[in-house]
Amino acid sequence: MKKYNYLQQNKIKLLYSMISKLKRYNSFTIKILSDTRVFYLFSLKIFS
C-alpha cells in the first residue's frame, strides 16, 4: 500500500511539473506569436 501511495505521489508531481512547463511554454509561444504579428503589421506599413 505504501509503495502504491508513493507511485501516486510521483505521478501527481510529474503531472504538475508537466503542466507548469506547458504553461511556461505557452506564454512563451504566445509572446512570440504576438511579436511576429506586430512585426508583420509593421512591415506591411513600411512596404505598402
| Residue whose cell numbers read 505521489 | 9
Q: What is the DSSP string of 1-48?
A: -HHHHHHHHHHHHHHHHHHHHHHHHHHHHHHHHHHHHHHHHHHHHHH-
pLDDT per residue over 11-36, tens digit each?
889 888 888 888 888 788 878 888 88
Higher pLDDT, 2 or 8: 8
Domain count, the chain: 1
Q: Is the pLDDT of residue 1 over 70?
A: no
Which domain, by its residues, includes 47?
1-48
